[in-house]
Amino acid sequence: MSKNIITIQETDEIIRGLRDFADNGQRSYAFRKKKLELLRKAVLANADAIAEAIGKDLGKHQFETYLSDVGVIAEEISFILKNLKMWMQPEDVSTPMAIFPSTKTTLYHEPKGVVLIFSPWNYPVNLSLIPLAGAIAAGNTVLLKPAHETPNAAAVISKIVHEVFEKTHVSVIEGEGKIIGPLLLDNYRFDHIFFTGSPQVGKWIMEKAAKNLTPVTLELGGKSPVIVDKNSNLKTAVTRIIWGKMFSAGQTCIAPDYALVHEDIKEEFIKLAIERIHSFYGANPEESPYLARIVSKERCEKLTGYLKQGTIIHGGFYDIEKKYIEPTLLEIHDLEAPVMKEEIFGPILPLITWKSKDAILQIIRKNRYPLACYVYSTDKKFSDYIIQHVEFGSGCINDNLVQFVNNKLPFGGIQNSGVGRYHGKFSFDAFSHTKGVVNTLSNIDHNLKYPPYSSWKMKLSKWFLE
């Protein structure tokens, strides 16, 4: 199969194989368990190859790759393996007395069928294999489309998948998204579509899915705020914020997009932030092996445009040919500028000061429904206020990014930042059809529900309702 060109005949064969396996393949616990164990083993065996590939594609240090890709994937699969047998069991729930002689109600968890996964370029391995693990745990077959912007990672993903799975169980299709997307969605029916990417493309995916009423999970983006209260452990807060913002050069969907800093601590925040940038990446970050590069020159050019939309407090140097942008602090005066309307996805941290909680909400609601929200404060009432008044997908108090690693938390957005949830049990549920069945005794019956209806039946019905 060519990485750039695939014929409709080749695609037909792939989809037909996946569909046949979905209709007739093995759904047993033992089968799913074996494949997940092999997938985990293959990820660990290819850990160095994954790090090398992402290093070539994104200039990312292998430590960040081991932390955010290899380690997180392995832990996610381990968590699924530990709980899968229990998740697969039919689940008995209570039965209302009003429907006697029905005495038992059971939930059955079944595979949806053929799942299509579109993964993004920013975490190309993580955001391919974690949803893949969930889909396999739920018993589906999968067509996986890695991002073409990170070709080295796509090659490693394809290698791992074809080491572990038969092509009728999981297949990888490579190529440009603008070609492969329409090819797949205009010509084939899928039973679930999982997409990670921009809201703009997510809307297009949802529109295409509506043609067949295909359910979707859309992991999108948004401008995720980090709110720093004057009552915070500022040194720790700044250390964690700069780490979270600059991790993978800011190309993280849940990275702090902009900082809302209380006006009383603005100068100290800036001083500490500059110190942290220097301590992490040195006086000349361009020479640091620890700062990733931007995925493409086109993205780099987009990011440099933001530098003119505020006052550069620190940084601002860039080299488009090297896909490098220096960690930059940018003071914002115009909340209507594109830098405050678009998800940045780069090592540029806009700073805005506030002095009232109302001001915080007014600013955030200009870009409502972020994927993540972070609040740094030692005042529980303040943190609770933010959690209760800001609509967001997931977040942290006094930290950032780490919510993604907790397998027991659902991961996903709200409104413009996404549809649906995954990770751990939420992945199993997302890729499963839960079927409810009521079991009724056949040797007992009553005539209450049958015509003719009488006044005493009406009274009895009211009594049941009350």
Asked if residue 143 and residue 274 are part of one domain, the reply reads: no
151-164 helix and 126-137 helix, angle to the nearest 10 degrees: 30
Is 335 found in the same domain as 268? yes
Q: Is 466 a member of any domain?
A: no
- Kindly list the distances between the CA atom of residue 457 and the CA atoms of 17, 289, 442, 447, 448, in Å, as whole numbers in the listed order: 56, 79, 22, 9, 6
My answer on whether 277 and 181 are in the same domain is no
Question: In this structure, is residue 243 part of a structural domain?
Answer: yes
Average pLDDT over residues 418-433: 97
Token pair belonging to 451:
């015509």
User: Are 395 and 293 within one domain?
Assistant: yes
Question: What is the average pLDDT score of the chain?
Answer: 95
> Residue 432 forms beta bridges with which residues?
111
Angle between helix 151-164 and helix 29-45 axes, rounded to 10 deg? 140
Classify residue 461 by burial, with Cβ atoms within 10 Å: 0-12, 13-18, 19+: middle
Convert 75-114 to b/e letters by CB count within 10 Å (16 or more is b): ebbebbbebbeebbeeeeeebeeeeeeeeebeeebebbbb
Count of domains observed in the chain: 2
Q: Rg for the chain (alpha carbons), in Å?
A: 25
d(CA 154, CA 161): 11
Q: Residue 1 pLDDT more than 60?
A: no
153 and 239 co-located in one domain: no
Mean pLDDT of 143-156: 97
pLDDT, tens digit, for every residue of 61-105?
A: 999 999 999 999 999 999 999 999 999 999 999 998 878 888 999
Same domain, 137 and 34: yes
Calpha distance 229→233 (Å, rounded) = 9
pLDDT digits (tens, 9 = 90+) for 102-126: 899 999 999 999 999 999 999 999 9
Q: Are residues 94 and 188 in the same domain?
A: yes
**Is the residue at 39 inside a domain?**
yes
Question: Which region among 56-65, 173-182, 453-462 has the lowest average model confidence (pLDDT)?
Answer: 453-462
Cβ partners under 8 Å of residue 423, min gap 6: 76, 130, 134, 404, 406, 407, 409, 410, 411
Whether residue 76 lies in the annotated active site: no
pTM for the structure as a whole: 0.95
324, 201: one domain? no
Same domain, yes or no: 129 and 230:
no
Same domain as 215, residue 230:
no
CATH, residue 187 = 3.40.605.10
Domain co-membership, 176 together with 283: no
CATH number assigned to the domain comprising residue 355: 3.40.309.10
- Among the listed residues 64, 76, 174, 253, the single catalytic one is 253
> What pLDDT is recorded for position 100?
86
Q: Which domain holds residue 284?
A: 225-408
Residue 396 a catalytic site member: no
For residue 4, pLDDT beyond 60: no
Residue 345 placed within a domain: yes
3-state secondary structure the chain: CCCCCCCHHHHHHHHHHHHHHHHHCCCCHHHHHHHHHHHHHHHHHCHHHHHHHHHHHHCCCHHHHHHHHHHHHHHHHHHHHHHHHHHHCCEEECCCHHHCCEEEEEEEEEECCEEEEECCCCCCCHHHHHHHHHHHHCCCEEEEECCCCCHHHHHHHHHHHHHHCCCCCEEECCCCHHHHHHHHHHHCCCCEEEEECCHHHHHHHHHHHHCCCCCEEEECCCCCEEEECCCCCHHHHHHHHHHHHHHHHHCCCCCCCEEEEEHHHHHHHHHHHHHHHHHHHCCCHHHCCCCCCCCCHHHHHHHHHHHHHCEEEECCCEEHHHCEECCEEEECCCCCCHHHCCCCCCCEEEEEEECCHHHHHHHHHHHCCCCEEEEECCCHHHHHHHHHHCCCCEEEECCCCHHHHCCCCCECCCHHHEECCECCHHHHHHCEEEEEEEEECCCCCCCCCCCCCCHHHHHHHHHHHC
Higher-pLDDT residue of 116, 4: 116
CB-based contacts of 223, cutoff 8 Å, min separation 6: 257, 258, 340, 341, 342, 343, 344, 367, 370
Query: Cis omega (within 30 of 0) on the bond before 370?
Result: no
> Peptide bond before 96: cis, by omega within 30 degrees of 0?
no
The string of pLDDT tens digits covering residues 307-330 is: 999 999 999 999 999 999 999 999
Considering the domain architecture, whether residues 129 and 201 belong to the same structural domain is answered as yes
**Rounded mean pLDDT, 192-212:** 96
Query: Active site residue: 219, 326, 343, 396, which one?
Result: 219
Residue carrying the six token digits 């972070």: 374
Beta-ladder partners of 372? 394
What mean pLDDT comes out for the span 253-274? 98
